[in-house]
Amino acid sequence: MAISASSEGEFKLEVTYVVNNANWTPLYDVRVSQNKESSSVTLDYLAEVQQNTGEDWAGIKLTLSTAKPGLGTLPPN
């Protein structure tokens, strides 16, 4: 990767990339409450993330997606 700037100064660089050996699984928590007057259903949508990339993921920002990048995404040149 080559980076150049038109002038001196501070800048923010954000790098985004796809890695192998990482996945996530959706989890659902459904709770039903029922009494004589009313009933309610609460649905919580959760995720379990697993990774074996060899990288430290502590403190990262993570975006989960249902896309399948392994089916046709190539790394940048």
Q: pTM of the entire structure?
A: 0.58
Domain spans in the chain, listed from the N-terminal domain onward = 21-51
List of E strands, the chain: 22-34, 39-51
The string of pLDDT tens digits covering residues 20-73 is 899 999 999 999 999 989 999 999 999 999 999 999 999 988 888 887 766 666
- List of residues 6+ apart from 60 with CB closer than 8 A: none
